[in-house]
A and B are shown apart, each in its own frame.
Chain A
Amino acid sequence: MSYSDKVLDHYSNPRNVGSLDKSSQDVGTGLVGAPECGDVMKLQIKVNPQTSVIEDAKFKTFGCGSAIASSSLATEWVKGKTVEEALQIKNTEIVKELSLPPVKIHCSVLAEDAIRAAIHDWKKKNNGVAQNVPATTEARQ
């Protein structure tokens, strides 16, 4: 199958590959998998405790090119957003940005799952801290 240019770009030049200190209070870790294909994806965020802004994000994906590109893009997108804003990211936006074909939609779903899992982990660690940050409910572009 042929990949779009954007997928190829992220694939051959992935942004933010690596890891953050899992045990740090400010770091949230999401580890997710797609059993259909056996791919796994880890995405980590570092959140500013005062502002709830995601200041850094790293990923490591063992999987197909589209999964790598989706998670690379996801780290780029979450950086600079508050966690509540990051929770609005939809897999369909990733599909659109990377022009993923229908058979690769589950790779983008995996990336959305990874973002959510990382944020959930961070919230769990920082019980209640996140509560006083106003949620953004508007749909992002």
Chain B
Amino acid sequence: MSRAGHWAAQPGASVVNVLMANPESKSSLIMPGEATSTCWSCGTMRAVHFCSACGKVQPPVPVNYFTFFALPRKLNLDTALLEREFYELSRKLHPDLYARADQQEQEWSMEQSSLLNDAYRTLKDPIKRTEYLLRLEGVELEEQSKTATEKARATGEVKKQVVPPDLLEEVFELNMQLEELRMQKKMGEDDPALIEELRKQKLKFEEKYEALFEELKGYWNQWDKLVDSGDEEARGKVRDQMLDLLNRRNYIRNLVRDVNEALEN
């Protein structure tokens, strides 16, 4: 390759590299180009949803939900404020308002409204919000699990389970007891000791469930402080801790649900 050719290839290649290095660009959740668009009607720099200068609805651009609400990517969030924003935007984007606008604008208002609903539903719920952020930060549970299995296969090393072994043990044991309870009920028998035991377990897990949420809020604070710090390593650490916690929490949520079901039926 000539020297000129080499240099000519350089800018293109570096763009690709930047995109690859940025986890967001790999995610289907976001696409670039959101910041620089102008209003299709009046040419002003547009907002995500509609133009602040002329008020026209804009075609939806794929943005993440935080950006949609013009929020920083933080986990502590003023939900009252979010709610107000949501109602305000719902009103302004309501398809009824555009009944007499042209076809295009009507469609955009519908698309924007449904995007708004998704964004609101995701962000107002503390767990969904956290999970969403983790996905934005490149967490892909299933993909990562599969990759870890493939690696274990190739290297002969053991795959590390994402939840601690003693939690798995507990989950398994409790499921065995639940199965027993269901069997007994089917046969018309009843074992007060087993029921008592399961009640106790349920209380224990409910407490754990609450405690995990408190712990999660601690990580939120850490995350929010780090958001703009550019300290990738520290951010990654908090991210993984949150992921760990949510994984454990998923199991416990299922357990509480299943115990309740088995006790009630």
Contacts and interface: CB of A to CB of B under 8 A. Distances in A.
- Chain A interface mostly: mixed
A64 interface: no
B146 interface: yes
B251 A113 contact: no
B2 interface: no
A23 B158 CA distance: 21
Interface residues of A, number: 22
Interface in A28-71: 31-36, 38, 40, 42, 60, 62
A40 B251 CA distance: 9
Interface residues of B, number: 28
A19 to B, nearest CB: 10
B163 A33 contact: yes
B171 interface: yes
B141 A33 contact: no
Contact of A106 (B145, B156, B250, B251): B145
Interface in B68-117: none
A105 B142 CA distance: 9
A113 B149 contact: yes
Contacts of B158: 116-117, 120
A62 B259 CA distance: 14
Interface of B: 141-142, 145-146, 149, 152-153, 156, 158-159, 161-163, 165, 168-169, 171-172, 175-176, 179, 246-248, 250-251, 253-254
7 contacts: A40-B168, A40-B172, A40-B175, A105-B146, A112-B149, A113-B159, A117-B159
Given A35-B246, A38-B254, A87-B156, 12 more contacts: A33-B161, A33-B171, A33-B251, A35-B248, A38-B250, A40-B175, A60-B176, A62-B179, A91-B146, A112-B153, A113-B161, A116-B159
